[in-house]
Amino acid sequence: MKAKAVNNFNSINEAVTLGLVPSFQHVEKNQMIGTLKIIPFAISGGVMNEIEKFSSIHQPLFNLRPYVKRLPCLFRRS
């Protein structure tokens, strides 16, 4: 997650808030990872335009990546 970008997103307007799980958090399939709340249940077109502009510049706001299977390795120093 790009914490600075999410904080900047949340600074666009007090009526709109994005909340996400912490960075590097293990998540399961079908688990909710975030919420987007519009507090008064509606926003003006101007605020929506600001959100769309911000979102088009700062893509993506977060990434989901699967675990990578790796073989264990041990290094010994003599």
Q: Is residue 62 part of a domain?
A: no
Q: Is residue 74 part of a domain?
A: no
Q: Is residue 15 part of a domain?
A: yes
Query: What is the spatial distance between Cα 16 and Cα 63, in angstroms, rounded to a whole number?
Result: 21
pLDDT along the chain (78 residues), means of 10: 85 94 91 92 92 90 87 86
Q: What is the pLDDT of residue 75?
A: 86
Q: What is the pLDDT of residue 1?
A: 52
Contacts of 33 (CB under 8 A, 6+ apart): 20, 21, 27, 62, 64
Q: Is residue 77 part of a domain?
A: no
Q: What is the pLDDT of residue 47?
A: 94
Query: What is the spatial distance between Cα 38 and Cα 30, in angstroms, rounded to a whole number?
Result: 23
pTM comes to 0.71
Q: What is the pLDDT of residue 12?
A: 94
Question: Which residue range(s) make up the domain with 52?
Answer: 3-57
Q: Is residue 73 part of a domain?
A: no
Q: Is residue 67 part of a domain?
A: no
For the chain, the domain total comes to 1
Count of positions (residues) in the chain = 78
